[in-house]
């Protein structure tokens, strides 16, 4: 993607969705952290189904510890890898209570020190909860960035580094939301919907993909 295409690319996504939000359901910074931690290799819909009941019972780290690990596992057993996720979330709650006064820390270092919290989860919390201009690179962002030519990279960290250099400041706050939603609903993994894509004109791959569809 040429540099001159980046502003109209994001402006188009912004015009279609001026105030994008996460599709995970949460009512506090802790619930956001927990939901993102649980969302690895799971759908937002599946996570929301489990966390509605969980957060009603235990909306704080202290209450989740009081709930106990077996009950936590039971509450999220419909989510993939629920045992390891429950173990990490429970351990995270212990650290939040013992070291952070029950609050979610605001630094990347402290967030990434929590069990089950990697760079992507930390970026989501820093961006959504604390308003920092970070870019969380999940599978959708990774695919869209590479396919469009916006940010080429072999790893999520490489893609994040390029995105932070190329995405204009005015779009940084919401860029990862727009890219996630675009990848989830338009730029699909198996068959991107280039024929209805509002930003196809700036995409490096769209011409070839559209031509392949015509020849099929």
- Check if 138 is active-site: yes
- Check if 120 is active-site: yes
In a domain, 163, yes or no: yes
**What pLDDT tens digit does each residue of the chain (216 aa) get?**
999 999 999 999 999 999 998 899 999 999 999 999 999 889 999 999 999 999 999 999 999 999 999 999 999 999 989 999 999 999 999 999 999 999 999 999 999 999 999 999 999 999 999 999 899 999 999 999 999 999 999 999 999 999 999 999 999 999 999 999 999 999 999 999 999 999 999 999 998 888 877 765
Q: Which listed residue (138, 165, 213, 215) is catalytic?
A: 138
- Residue 176 tokens read as 């990862």
Total structural domains in the chain? 2
Q: What is the model's pLDDT at position 209?
A: 80
Q: Which listed residue (44, 120, 204, 215) is catalytic?
A: 120
* Domain shared by 124 and 34, yes or no: yes
CB 176 within 8 A of CB 141: yes
Q: What is the model's pLDDT at position 212?
A: 77
* C-alpha 74: how far from chain center: 25
Tell me which residue has tokens 């070291």. 99
In a domain, 153, yes or no: yes
Q: What range does the domain containing 40 cover?
A: 29-129
* CA max distance for the chain: 62
- Residue 96 tokens read as 């939040």
The span from the CA of 8 to the CA of 124, in Å, is 25
Domain boundary among 91, 106, 129: 129
Domain boundary among 111, 129, 147: 129
Read off the pTM: 0.90
* C-alpha 5: how far from chain center: 24
């Amino acid at each position: 993607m040429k540099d001159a295409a980046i502003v109209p690319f994001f402006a188009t996504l912004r015009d279609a969705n001026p105030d994008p939000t996460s599709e995970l359901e949460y009512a506090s910074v802790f619930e956001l952290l927990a939901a993102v931690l649980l969302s690895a290799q799971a759908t937002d819909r599946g996570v929301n189904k489990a966390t509605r009941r969980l957060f009603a019972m235990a909306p704080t780290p202290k209450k989740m510890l009081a709930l106990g690990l077996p009950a936590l596992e039971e509450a999220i057993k419909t989510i993939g890898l629920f045992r390891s996720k429950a173990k990490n979330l429970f351990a995270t709650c212990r650290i939040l209570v013992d070291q952070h006064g029950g609050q979610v820390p605001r630094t990347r270092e402290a967030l990434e020190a929590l069990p089950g919290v990697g760079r992507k989860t930390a970026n989501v919390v820093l961006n959504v909860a604390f308003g920092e201009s970070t870019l969380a690179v999940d599978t959708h962002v990774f695919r869209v960035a590479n396919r469009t030519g916006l940010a080429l990279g072999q790893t999520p960290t490489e893609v994040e580094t390029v995105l932070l250099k190329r995405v204009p400041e005015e779009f940084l706050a919401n860029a990862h939301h727009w890219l996630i939603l675009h990848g989830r609903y338009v730029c699909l993994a198996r068959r991107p919907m280039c024929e209805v894509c509002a930003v196809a004109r700036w995409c490096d791959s769209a011409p070839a993909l559209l031509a392949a569809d015509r020849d099929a």
